[in-house]
Amino acid sequence: MPAIAGPSSSPQKHVVGSRLEVTGGLRSAEVNTCRKRKLRSDSAAEVSSSTPVNSISTPMKWKSPRRCAVSIPKTADEEIKEDSNGNLASPVISAVKNLSVCLDVESKWNPRDEEQMKAVKEALHVSKAPSTVVCREDEQRRVSEFVKSCMEQNKAGSLYICGCPGTGKSLSMEKVRQQADDWAKQAGLPCSETVSVNCTSLTKTTDIFSKILGKNESGSKANGSSSPLQQLQSLFSQKQQQSSSKMMLIIADEMDYLITRDRGVLHELFMLTTLPFSRCILIGVANAIDLADRFLPKLKSLNCKPLVVTFRAYSKEQILRILQERLVALPYVAFQSNALEICARKVSAASGDMRKALCVCRSALEILEIEARGSIDQEPQGPVPECQVVKMDHMLAALSKTFKSPVVDTIQSLPQHQQIIVCSAAKAFRGSKKDRTIAELNKLYLEICKSSTITPAGITEFTNMCTVLNDQGILKLSQARDEKLRRVSLRVDEADITFALKEIRFFRNCLL
């Protein structure tokens, strides 16, 4: 007998029940969504805490998540904003967008792009003068105060600037000259007449007086028999007219040239500042740090002792800061931070020369460029590898290329048997004994040749090779009646020998 469908087994009820389940699921998901959105604000948190999620007694008119978000009261920290297109944008979304923009800027760097590579190279070029000279503020302030004091008092004076090459002396002087002109205009004083002379460009040391006078040698001779120096001495020994009483700022760069060729010219140059009506503000720039100690006593006796300002070598932190200042203006990142740091550490330990640091960075950039071109030749259609910037390995290769020791070059260029003698000497002097006889060194040489099946040289030829190494400064030979009893010692560091020969397996095994 067919079963009669009861109320519990009604298909319509099953359908309705399933619809209610689906609707309830949707509503519960909507409740959770709205609750999560509302928890972001304090007011929504109070509502959600007072009304449990699972106990819904009365039907509510639920809003969509978008409407819920808009209906939340606006706070200072969470205010919905509209962008230029009229779309809603929250501060969180704006921050994410800004971050993506920053990441997109960094991702724009492509070493295969010739324009980008050219821009980075120009930023790291020595001739590229930065807008501001960093890490030399104290030295510039002292020089500027000296120049301003002379201009205010209308009084002549001399200043000597010394420091190692690449410490920012010439660049700082150019900035000081610009600052002096700007200051004079603001103070209502007449701008000084500036004479910048690079002493290395002079044919003769006495030509510097012609540069100061504004005439060449032929013009001076045409005016009479008096020399340019005599004309300057006469000019500054007489009272000048008020219209021609401007101060004269003389910047003599590379003053070492005057010292080595003619010391009298140096003395006469500084003495121009001691004349009664002199208008000279003399600033001498030189690399010789000990020049002040050698010539100050003489200048002091002539009553023209200059003020001395010393430019110290750049430290690791200063070199790193200058490199970052040059690269920060670029819209992309071409160097890893640890690569710049190892460059700054190595250059500061070696010389502190900023020009050397710029040269190393450019060399590392060229190594990356060659590497990128090689990847293009292998995979013309391939994408640019991620993070293809100057890394540690590029910088280490550039540093090795720049600071390569001449001893290493000499050892690498030696013939094979002389390199074996050098390896024998390195092994012989590892202990406390610092010298050996030629006979003892020859014994080690024969052992190495025998272990490698290399035909050794005779004792006479071996002695001659040791003499050649002595002439090249690698070994040191003492005198003795018997050639075999001559003492041999090593003049170079064992680390240089290891570095020079480590790429060859045979010598690498010999030095173990």
Tokens of 87: 């779309």
Q: Give the DSSP H/E element, type plus range, for residue 341.
A: helix 337-350
Q: What is the pLDDT of residue 293?
A: 67
Q: Enter the pTM of the model.
A: 0.60
**3-state SS track over 10-68:** CHHHHHHHHHHHHHHHHHHHHHHHHHHHHCCCHHHHHHHHHCCCCCCCCCCCCCCHHHH
Name which of 117, 212, 133 is nearest 168 in CA terms.
133
CA–chain centroid gap for 137, Å, is 18
Whether the pLDDT of residue 184 is over 80: the answer is yes
Which residues is 282 bridged to in the sheet?
158, 250
Across all residues in the chain, what is the average pLDDT?
76
Residues 6+ apart with CB under 8 A from 382: 375
Sign of CA dihedral 225, 228, 234, 239: positive
Q: What is the pLDDT of residue 108?
A: 79
- Express each pLDDT in 213-271 by its tens digit: 884 443 444 455 789 999 999 888 888 765 556 899 999 998 878 865 557 888 899 99
3-class DSSP state for residue 412? helix
CA geometry: angle at 264 spanning 260 and 269, to 5°?
100
Portion of the chain with pLDDT greater than 90, in percent: 31
Q: How far, in Å, CA of 415 to CA of 507, rounded?
A: 13
Mean pLDDT (whole number) for 461-474: 88
Q: What is the pLDDT of residue 328?
A: 92
Q: What is the pLDDT of residue 141?
A: 95
Q: What is the pLDDT of residue 77?
A: 39
- Express each pLDDT in 190-205 by its tens digit: 888 899 999 888 888 8
Q: How far, in Å, CA of 228 to CA of 223, rounded?
A: 10
**Of the candidate ranges 185-189, 338-342, 371-375, the one whose mean pLDDT is the lowest:** 371-375
Which residues is 191 bridged to in the sheet?
none
Q: Contacts for 32-41 with beta carbons within 8 Å, 24 or more apart? A: 33/65, 33/68, 34/62, 34/63, 34/65, 34/68, 37/65, 37/68, 37/69, 37/72, 38/68, 38/72, 40/72, 40/78, 41/72, 41/73, 41/75, 41/78
Measured from the Cβ of residue 281, the count of other Cβ atoms closer than 10 Å reads: 24
Whether the pLDDT of residue 83 is over 50: the answer is no
Q: What is the pLDDT of residue 99?
A: 33
Q: What is the pLDDT of residue 121?
A: 93
Which residues is 476 bridged to in the sheet?
489
Q: Which position has the higher pLDDT, 404 or 45? A: 404
Mean pLDDT (whole number) for 116-138: 91
